[in-house]
Amino acid sequence: MITLNLNVNGKDHRLEIEDHMRLLDVIRGPLGLTGTKEGCGEGECGACTVILDGNAVDSCLVLAAQCEGKKIVTIEGLETADGLDPVQQAFLDNGAVQCGYCIPGMVLSAKALLDKNVAPNDNEIKEAISGNLCRCTGYDKMVKAIKTASEVMQERGEQK
Amino acid sequence: MKVEKVIKAFSLKEALEALEANEGRAELIAGGTDLLVKIREKHNKKPVIIDISDVPECRGIRFEADYIAIGACAKYSELVASERVRTQMPGLWEASRSVGAPQIRNLGTVGGNIANASPAADAVPPLLAMEAVLEIVSPEGCRTVALKDFFKGKGQADLNASEIITQIVIPRPGSTQINVQFEKLGLRNALAISRLSAAAALELTEGGIIDKACVASGSIGLTGMREPELEAFLEGRTLDEATIEAACDLFSEVVAKRLNGRGTMPFKREAVRGVFGAALRKALRASV
């Protein structure tokens, strides 16, 4: 067992975990945040994507013990008192969600992109979600949704 | 094998001490993109894992007057984000950009890619072509080994259990920019392991004659390797379309000979023309 200090969705946690646990296991197990999905378990599908210190990563490819002192954002961390994150809202508004399994990872990949580059072009959007597989939608509506979110975020940025 | 213990090191000293204290029972993790898959399949070989991903001595990219030092735990996304990597080592930048997907590049490290000694490692051909040298540290001190001498076979490397790769050092004699170019063939754009890759670093005279050529390949042997036959052929010739065509013919013969009897030979013999030709044409475009 090891003690792990982790900030998840803005909240500090001190957890006793088994050494062999992956970040994904800690998120879904002790933290109970089951919005993060396990798909392939080997970094091919992106269903388990979370944001680690600002970067999208596959949480199935990270040992929890490697994350000592780090900041993690999961899908549960996007909604604020003001409502859904612009990326979440845009996915709903554009009908970009079907079965939903890939969506938390897809949304977080988009979020990580927009936080660094609020006005990405189509290629940058496609690149950002290239590690997230979706077997329902054909990706088109997701790309549109991310563009919508980009516009909303730019407008909000201008208002500030 | 079950992982019994994970030790996170915050300095090189801590990492070396942890290796020594767990002699023979420990292996290193950096990005984890390969090791986590092995652990999942219970193919990992050691019960103790020492994390060096946050060891400062293994991080960052330094641009010095006569060399560039890439920390072994520099992540692919750091290389991709570096404007100086893009302009000064375009082949390495392209290879880095072709690794996995963003989630993989945000974890995977150059040193881990090298230490695994996979024949398909994307960063290896451009690093070989730039004559990279590895800095390896152990409790006994520091040694250097040329990358071309580091690989001993598929998954086998000149690295013993007490050692840690800390830096990848790329010499840059004279000019600030190395005309190194890379091309890879994968099965799709994202997340594809390279089926074949090639890199070339060319030094040209003012008249466009190839003064020095370093050519390297990936996935056409047990390890990434230099291609001396191609280097000897290119040196002294003018870098033009005729030379590129002839070099691709020669590479095709080299591949046919090396992979003789393998099922992939007929495919790779042809594919290498396109891959190496594309790398050389990038070098030609960069030279004018």
Residue A127 touches chain B, beta carbons under 8 Å: yes
- pLDDT at residue number B153: 87
pLDDT at B187 over 70: no
Cα gap B16→B163, rounded to integer Å: 8
Looking at the structure, do residues B279 and B188 belong to the same domain, yes or no? Answer: yes
Q: Are residues B65 and B42 in the same domain?
A: no
Last residue of a domain, one of B132, B148, B171: B171
Whether A60 and A110 map to the same domain: the answer is no
Of A44, A52, A57, the CB nearest to B191: A44
Q: Which residues of B touch A2 (CB under 8 A)?
A: 6
The CATH number that applies at residue A148 is 1.10.150.120
Out of B7, B36, B102, name the one closest to residue A128 (CB). B102
Q: Report B:16-35 residues touching A (Cβ under 8 A).
A: 29, 31-33
Contact: B32, A109; criterion CB under 8 Å: no
| pLDDT score recorded for residue A16 | 97
Report the pLDDT averaged over residues B100-123: 94
Task: Among B182-186, B214-218, B264-268, name the one with the lowest average pLDDT.
Answer: B182-186
Cα gap B61→B24, rounded to integer Å: 31
With an 8 Å Cβ cutoff, is A22 touching chain B? yes
Query: Is the Cβ of B189 closer than 8 Å to some Cβ of chain A?
Result: yes
Task: Test B106 with A56 for CB contact under 8 angstroms.
Answer: yes
Chain B neighbors of A20, CB-CB under 8 A? 2-4, 6, 39
pLDDT over threshold 80, residue A159: no
Residue of B nearest to A67 (CA): B8
Evaluate if residue A103 carries a pLDDT over 80. yes
pLDDT band at B177 (very low <50, low <70, confident <90, very high): low
| Residues B159 and B77 grouped into a single domain | yes
Pair (A68, A135) in one structural domain: no
Residue A138's contacts (CB-CB under 8 Å, 6 or more residues apart) are none
Chain mean pLDDT for chain B: 93
Residues 125-184 of B with CB under 8 A from A: none
Q: Are residues A127 and A110 in the same domain?
A: yes
Find the closest chain A residue to B190 by CA distance.
A130
Give me the sheet containing B61-63, strands edge to edge. B61-63, B67-71, B164-171, B133-138, B141-146
pLDDT at B186 over 90: no
Q: Give the count of Cβ contacts less than 8 A between chain A and B.
A: 92
Cβ–Cβ contact B100 with A under 8 A: yes
Same domain, A25 and A45: yes
Q: Minimal Cα–Cα distance from A75 to chain B, Å? A: 16
Indicate the residue among A20, A45, A77 that finishes a domain. Answer: A77
Q: Which domain holds residue A126?
A: 86-159
Q: What is the pLDDT of residue B249?
A: 97
Looking at the structure, tell me whether residues B35 and B60 fall in a common domain: no
Q: Please state the rounded mean pLDDT for residues B148-162.
A: 92
Write the ipTM.
Answer: 0.96
In angstroms, the separation between the Cα of residue A31 and the nearest Cα of chain B is 20
Closest Cβ opposite residue A130 in set B29, B33, B190: B190
- Residue at which a domain ends, from A46, A77, A108: A77
CA atoms of A142 and B151, how far apart (whole Å): 43
Do A59 and A120 lie in one domain? The reply is no
Q: Chain B 64-83, CB below 8 Å of chain A: which residues? A: 77
Q: Do A43 and B104 touch (CB under 8 A)?
A: yes
**Residue B81 pLDDT exceeds 80:** yes
Range(s) of the domain holding residue B203: 180-287
pLDDT (mean) for B228-250: 97
Predicted local confidence at residue B174, as pLDDT: 60
Domain count, chain B: 3
- DSSP class per residue in B95-113: HHHTSS-HHHHTT-BHHHH
Contact B36 A19 (CB under 8 A): no
Q: Which of A62, A112, A128 sits opposite B32 (nearest CB)?
A: A62
Residues B124 and B210 in one domain: no
Q: Are residues A154 and A108 part of one domain?
A: yes
Q: Are residues B162 and B193 both part of a single domain?
A: no
pLDDT above 80: residue B194: no
Q: Examine the domain organization and report whether A70 and A93 are in the same domain.
A: no
The percent of residues above 90 in pLDDT, for chain B, comes to 84
Domain count, chain A: 2
In sequence order, the 6+-apart residues with CB closer than 8 A to the CB of B42 are B1, B2
Q: Give the pLDDT confidence score for residue A62 in this predicted structure.
A: 98
Same domain, A97 and A41: no
CATH number at residue B61: 3.30.465.10
When pLDDT is averaged across residues A22-39 and rounded to a whole number, the result is: 98
Over residues B255-263, mean pLDDT: 94
* CATH code for the domain of A57: 3.10.20.30
Q: Is the pLDDT at B175 greater than 90, yes or no?
A: no
Nearest to B6 among A42, A65, A113 (CB): A65
Residue A102 shares a structural domain with residue A153: yes
Residue A154 confidence (pLDDT) above 70? yes
pLDDT band at B155 (very low <50, low <70, confident <90, very high): confident
pTM exceeds 0.90 for this model = yes
Q: Are residues A40 and A67 in the same domain?
A: yes
Distance (Å, whole) CA A102 – CA A49? 9
- Same domain membership, residue B107 and residue B186: no
Are B22 and B64 part of one and the same domain? no
Whether the CB of B113 is below 8 Å from some CB of chain A: the reply is: no
Contact with chain A for residue B43, Cβ under 8 A: no
pLDDT range class, residue A160, cuts 50, 70, 90: low
Any CB–CB contact under 8 A between A16 and chain B?
A: no
Minimal C-alpha gap between A58 and chain B (Å): 6
Q: What is the pLDDT of residue B15?
A: 98
Domain final residue pick, A77, A100, A115: A77
Q: Which residues of A touch B77 (CB under 8 A)?
A: 55
